[in-house]
Structure 1
Amino acid sequence: MAESDSRKKFNEALRLEKQGKISQAAKLYGEIVQSEPGFQKAYLNLGALYSKSGDSENAIRTYRKALEIGKTPELYYNMGVELYRLNSPEAAIRALKNSLELNKRYLNSHLLLAYCYKQLEKPEKSELYLKNVLKIEPKNRTALSALATIYFDTEKWEEALDATEKALAVNPNDPRMEILLTEIHVKLGNYKQSFETLKKVTATAQGFSNFSDSVRNSKRNPKPEEKIFFENLETLTKKKLNDFKNKLVLSKESPEDFEAPEAQDALDLSLMYLFHGDTERALKYLLYAQKNLEENPAKEAP
């Protein structure tokens, strides 16, 4: 087959790919590499199609054939991706390091190496490669988020706070990072900041907002069974709140004789206020429960 014919077939395969005709595109790429084994780009695209269809083993075989033609950072990275998917992080690491030998600044390889080492429970190595990513691209949101999570998991609260704030500066409304930020503030004893952040998250999170709106609508126009539910809930909440306040007052007046309310008391109230549609009070009691558990880890709520 003449080289120009291979190029025509390649362009046709690209067109089919864009149209979502994956099997037809793969067939053409296969024909190209059969007739012209040195056409590396066809191997690369064929491997990518196998990857998209979840066939990692065929993708790896195809990438290996492409590597016989010539080594590139992209090919080694693609190999690493498939090996990682096959739950072979050590083999993935070898491929990714080969990628970096060819291009030390190949960002995706640094990023995937961080995930490989996280899977192997080597947070210090994972941290190293995430920092490499940030040297190349200081505002990489994936690296900042992953670094914040690693610091949280290893109980480096100040570092976790710094990384989370940087991640939110890049992506201000990332609910995962906002939730993590509330947890970090609790760990650092910054309960007011935790409450303010959590209040912001619940005000903007779609699912939570939909739930709160649904509760408020039901209270405004309740069906007969809903009316009974809300009346009973009102009675239970008042009783629970009085018990909670009494415990709190007695514990402050005579701490040697009376214990303060426990986490479960606060969690019960939090849930009740949530079903009242009173998000702010629900969050306050949830935060009390968090604080209680932080200060009294042996008294975890069941």
Structure 2
Amino acid sequence: MIPPAVMSHFPSPSLRPLLTLLGAAALAVTLAAQQPVRDYSLTDATGEVLPKFKLAADAKNYDAALAILDAQIAKVPADSYDAATLEQIKVQTLFQKGDFARAIEPMEHALAVSDAHTPTYFEERITRDLQNYLTQLYVQEAVGSKNPAVASKLFEKADGSMQKWLKLAPNSTADAQLLYAQLLYSWAVQNPEKPDLKLIQRALDQAEIGLHLAIHPKDTFYLIKLAALQQLGRTAETAEMFELLIKQKPESSTYYQQLAATYLGTGQELRAALTIERAQAQGHMATPQYNFNLVGIYFNMGQFEKAADLLEAGLKAGTIDNEQKNWELYALCYQQLERPLKSIEVLKQAAKVFPKSGQIEFMIAQAYNGLEKSDEALPHLQAAIAKGNLTKPHQVYSYLAYVAYEMKKFDIALDAAEKAVADPEGAKDRQAQGLLKGIKDIIKEREAKKAKM
């Protein structure tokens, strides 16, 4: 999809300079004087009509002025110099009226009639300027059209008009190349789900030409190039473009965000992390979400100590959301580093922050049991059940039953095992059912031995 930043820079036809051009060329009828080889002149009948037209136009009665022109156009041969000139004046009048869309047809006709003659009715400079404005009008109408078929036809006409202009222009300009690149890109992404990659490549080529024609290229050139590279899947070059834009505008947070996303999308996690850190040094991407994203990147890279340090600092400073899942990840970092006591320490801090969470108590108990410290695990398991708020209660009951069983605290084990299978989820758990049966068997065997004594 074409970026909003690109669309916002789309040129609106700056037509006032053309009014002067058309006025000088048409009303003063100086073409023949400027180009002696062009010995064309208006007929007397048309010459007599022009003062009436001028009177209405000067009074800003444009509808009356246009009616005078249309009446005279109907009387002259369609391929005559009079027709070309009158159509040219009509274009000027429509511009003055602000009716740009209606100016397209008479401009097309004026150019076609002029180009059909040798030498052309209009001198090359005027033809070139008219062609440039016609291209802009095509693009403006195409972008504003809600009918894809109509828009596509207008873009096609704009492309052809621009190619004619390039043949007439001794040297292209940066502004002309920007217009050409924009129209090609907009045409290419009419259907954002299926962009035309050939047109996108052409847009990229024209943008490249424009970049070399300006000492200080407009930002829109870079945006078009960037969008084109992304559409073409050239991610390495896309990243290079973002790096360039960041050097030019380090104050822009958007470029940092998109560069980090580009690196992540290509599996370059370290570069993504460093990009976020560079952005944060400039005061960007400093929200709790971005801070947590940075933690996640380091964690996924196996940089658990770095992730833990960021979490510790962020939770303490409030720059990472004080949520239970973030404390759990903090503890998990130390588990991955094989520092279980530090992990337990973090979980105990979390238990103070979230005193009603039985899940944290359960995690502490699991950590202690992993260290073969059942006597320390047991009270935390009992605290977990007392506090509640457990993700899967039947698992905690089963775990308590197992630990108590290992400690030969069979009464506690039996009670926990029965509650585990009484839970809807536990009723489906074969291990929980097997554990309950095993505990019952042990208790039964113990009681049988007592009875024999």
Task: Please indicate the TM-score interval, normalised by the length of the shorter structure.
Answer: 0.5 to 0.7
AA at the equivalent of 1:77: A
Contact kept, 8 Å, 2:211 with 2:221, in 1: the verdict is no
Query: TM-score, with normalisation over the residues of structure 1?
Result: 0.56
Q: Distance in 1 between matches of 2:106 and 2:142?
A: 15
Q: Distance in 2 between matches of 1:194 and 1:267?
A: 26
Q: Distance in 1 between matches of 2:109 and 2:283?
A: 46
Q: How does 1:1-302 map to 2 (within 5 A)?
A: 1-2=85-86, 3=88, 5-13=90-98, 25-36=100-111, 38=127, 39=130, 40-54=132-146, 55=148, 56-67=151-162, 68-70=164-166, 72-78=176-182, 79-86=184-191, 87-104=195-212, 105-164=217-276, 179-188=289-298, 189=307, 190-192=310-312, 196-199=318-321, 241-242=357-358, 244-255=359-370
Contact kept, 8 Å, 2:207 with 2:221, in 1: the verdict is yes
When the two chains are superposed, the root-mean-square deviation of aligned CA atoms in Å is 4.0
Q: Distance in 2 between matches of 1:103 and 1:53?
A: 29
The alpha-carbon distance between structure 1 residues 110 and 95, as it changes in their structure 2 partners (threshold 3 A), is: same
Aligned length: 216
User: Where does the alignment leave 5 or more consecutive residues of structure 2 unmatched?
Assistant: 1-84, 113-126, 167-171, 299-306, 323-353, 382-387, 393-453
- What displacement does 1:91 show? 2.6
Q: Distance in 1 between matches of 2:190 and 2:389?
A: 43
Higher helix share: 1
Q: Distance in 2 between matches of 1:150 and 1:109?
A: 20
Q: Distance in 1 between matches of 2:369 and 2:360?
A: 14
Which whole-Å deviations, capped at 9, do the CAs of 1:41-84 have from their partners, x for residues lacking one? 23213312211335441342132133122352122221123213
The alpha-carbon distance between structure 1 residues 161 and 139, as it changes in their structure 2 partners (threshold 3 A), is: same
The alpha-carbon distance between structure 1 residues 65 and 184, as it changes in their structure 2 partners (threshold 3 A), is: same
AA at the equivalent of 1:10: F
User: Where does the alignment leave 5 or more consecutive residues of structure 1 unmatched?
Assistant: 17-24, 201-236, 270-302
- What displacement does 1:138 show? 4.3
Which whole-Å deviations, capped at 9, do the CAs of 1:107-162 have from their partners, x for residues lacking one? 32332332333334332121122234345544444433321211232343443244
Q: Distance in 1 between matches of 2:253 and 2:111?
A: 41
Contact kept, 8 Å, 1:33 with 1:43, in 2: the verdict is no
Q: Distance in 1 between matches of 2:143 and 2:281?
A: 34
Q: Distance in 1 between matches of 2:205 and 2:364?
A: 62
The alpha-carbon distance between structure 1 residues 96 and 184, as it changes in their structure 2 partners (threshold 3 A), is: same
SS for the counterpart of 2:370 is coil
Q: Distance in 1 between matches of 2:278 and 2:292?
A: 15
The alpha-carbon distance between structure 1 residues 183 and 26, as it changes in their structure 2 partners (threshold 3 A), is: same
Structure number with bigger Rg: 2
Which whole-Å deviations, capped at 9, do the CAs of 1:157-181 have from their partners, x for residues lacking one? 4432443456577785x79x76344
AA at the equivalent of 2:179: L
The alpha-carbon distance between structure 1 residues 35 and 111, as it changes in their structure 2 partners (threshold 3 A), is: same
Contact kept, 8 Å, 2:104 with 2:134, in 1: the verdict is yes
Which whole-Å deviations, capped at 9, do the CAs of 1:183-211 have from their partners, x for residues lacking one? 122222132466544539xxxxxxxxxxx
SS for the counterpart of 1:199 is coil
SS for the counterpart of 1:254 is helix
The alpha-carbon distance between structure 1 residues 95 and 152, as it changes in their structure 2 partners (threshold 3 A), is: same
The alpha-carbon distance between structure 1 residues 253 and 171, as it changes in their structure 2 partners (threshold 3 A), is: closer
